[in-house]
Amino acid sequence: MSPAPKVTAVLDVDALIDDPGTRVLVCCGSGGVGKTTTSAALAIRAAERGRRTVVLTIDPAKRLAQALGLQALSNEPGRVEAADGGALSATDGRGELHAMMLDMRRTFDEMVQSHSPPDRAEKIISNPFYQTISSSFSGTQEYMAMEKLGQLAATGEWDLIVVDTPPSRSALDFLDAPQRMSTFLDGRMIRLLSSPARAGGKGLRKLLGAGFSLFARGVGTILGGQLLADASAFVQAFDTMFGGFRERAEATYELLRSPGTAFVVVAAPEPDALREAAYFVDRLSAEGMPLSGLVLNRTHPVLAPLSATRARDAADGLRGAPLAAAVLRLHADRVDLADREERLLARFTSAHPAVAVTRVPVVSGDITDLDGLREIGARLAAASDVTGAEAVASEQSLRPAR
């Protein structure tokens, strides 16, 4: 006799978004698993349940705007309206939804403008070296995501901030942003480039002597003399902001580790997606980040307690009823698919037994409007209502009859 299947803890989505202590909800996962749709659905559900909510995507794709039925999203929160033109809000009028998409360059510009005198800010923003690193430097997107999240949290305006991260493992690169920025700012090249500001222009040669000349010639050969001059001018103008950079990034990092933040990993019942989910779970655990659970999207639950073997046997016996036989065979295929998904999930939960899971059945067609997102939100919540006994019965029903 087979042992009873282990019951996995169920992620209670409504309890999570209703909890006033939950202030930041970060959705992460690999590409193509419905992460953006999940983020938008959770944000809508939270707003309609009475929370003033903003959803921020740092995914450069425009899927969030499309899912919300909008033409575009800006770098500032914009109110989402219902189909009748009214504001999307809870029935009691308290909650509402805003949405935005990170504009990396604009966020960088705004940060410079808010932390520098106007003349210095203009000098920094017009510098060609700044224009290059603010749009293409490795790690800038993740750092600016940290900056924007910190800005949103600092306003105190939002009951809940939902963050839709980029697809793939780079979704968690923003966890490294403070350390990477510190490494960059403390690097030898930056110290050399900023030395005129720190030592005084004429004192530079006394301080560095021939060493800097060799450095300048070497870097100038690689980068070009003009780019080196632009880089040096940028770093000198930017020098006073370095400490603030590090402090703000580290403050946001601590926000991510605080009890008010919840991480939700989104996956599909496929081997690659669940492997990525396992990576996210392990990484979050190693960083001490508060993981709430796993959303398993696009599952295929069985609609009747009939095993695949019995369904196929019954279909073989219905020679005079081809339509009924076809339905039974479709059911058998569905049972096989559900059984495969259960085995994949069982491997994940065996390795991560403490991770709560909620399953969201697949929907047909694309989600392109608020009603579709509401339906996803309802399915997320309905999955949370499955009791342990029902979960066991469901798992047992997927096992073929002996």
- Please give the pLDDT value at position 216: 44
Output the pLDDT for position 81. Answer: 82
Distance of CA 382 to the CA centre of its chain: 23
Burial 226-262 (b: 16+ CB within 10 A, else e): eebebbbbbbbbbbebbeebbebbbebbebbeeebbb
pLDDT greater than 90 at residue 192: no
Helical segments of 96-162, H only: 104-115, 118-125, 128-136, 140-155
Task: Examine the pLDDT at 159 and tell me if it is beyond 50.
Answer: yes
Check if the beta carbon of residue 261 is closer than 8 Å to that of residue 26.
yes
Fold that domain 13-180+248-303+348-392 belongs to in CATH:
Rossmann fold (3.40.50)
Q: What digits encode the pLDDT tens for the residues 337-384?
A: 999 999 999 999 999 999 999 999 998 877 878 888 999 999 999 876
Among 115, 68, 138, CA closest to 243: 115
Q: Which residues contact 232 (CB under 8 A, 6 or more apart)?
A: 193, 194, 196
Q: Which distant-in-sequence residues (6+ apart) come within 8 Å of 276 by Cβ?
A: 29, 30, 168, 169, 267
Interaxial angle between packed helices 225-238 and 118-125, expressed in degrees from 0 to 180 and rounded to the nearest 10: 150
Of 221 and 81, which is predicted with more confidence?
81
DSSP assignments along 28-41, one per residue: E--TTSSHHHHHHH
Residue 17 has pLDDT above 60, yes or no: yes
Q: Please count the helices (runs of H) and the strands (runs of E) in the chain.
A: 19, 8
Q: Which residues contact 5 (CB under 8 A, 6 or more apart)?
A: 346, 392, 395, 396
Range of lowest pLDDT (14-28, 94-108, 126-140, 377-391): 377-391
pLDDT of residue 88 exceeding 80, the answer is no
What is residue 319's predicted lDDT score, i.e. its pLDDT?
Answer: 82
Arithmetic mean of pLDDT, 298-327: 91
Q: Assign 240 a pLDDT band (cuts: 50, 70, 90).
A: low
- In this structure, which amino acid lies at residue 357? V
Confidence of residue 190 (pLDDT cuts 50, 70, 90): low
Please tell me the distance from the alpha carbon of residue 305 to that of residue 360, in angstroms, as a whole number: 19
Give the residue extent of every domain in the chain: 13-180+248-303+348-392
Estimate to the nearest angstrom the gap between the alpha carbon of 95 and the chain centroid: 22
Mean pLDDT of the chain: 79
To the nearest whole percent, how much of the chain has pLDDT over 70? 71
For 187, phi then psi, to 5°, come to -65, 155
Instruction: Write out pLDDT tens, residues 269-295.
Output: 999 999 999 999 999 999 899 999 999
Residues in contact with 150: Cβ distance below 8 Å, sequence separation at least 6, in sequence order: 248, 249, 251, 252, 255
The span from the CA of 115 to the CA of 107, in Å, is 12
Average pLDDT estimate for 184-197: 55
Confidence tier at 202 by pLDDT (50, 70, 90): very low
Residue 185 to residue 182: CA distance in whole angstroms: 5
Output the pLDDT for position 344. Answer: 97
For the chain, report the end-to-end CA distance as a whole number of angstroms.
11
Is 92:50 a contact under the CB 8 Å cutoff? yes
Model pLDDT, residue 218 = 45
Q: Is the pLDDT of residue 322 over 80?
A: yes
Residue 366, Cβ density class (10 Å: 0-12 exposed, 13-18 middle, ≥19 buried): exposed
Largest CA distance in the chain: 99
| pLDDT grade for 263, boundaries at 50, 70 and 90 | very high
Q: pTM (2 decimals)?
A: 0.82
**Higher pLDDT residue, 210 or 121?**
121
Dump strand ranges (E) for 187-314: 261-267, 291-299
> What residues contact 348, with CB distance under 8 A and at least 6 apart?
274, 277, 278, 294, 355
Give the Cα separation of 396 and 391 in Å (integer). Answer: 9
**pLDDT of 335 strictly over 50:** yes
Structure tokens given for 277: 């989910």
Tell me the pairing of strands 24-28 and 261-267: parallel
CA angle, corner 190, sides to 186 and 196, nearest 5?
Answer: 120
Give the type of residue at 339. D
CA–CA separation, 163 vs 188, rounded Å?
A: 34
Length of the chain: 402
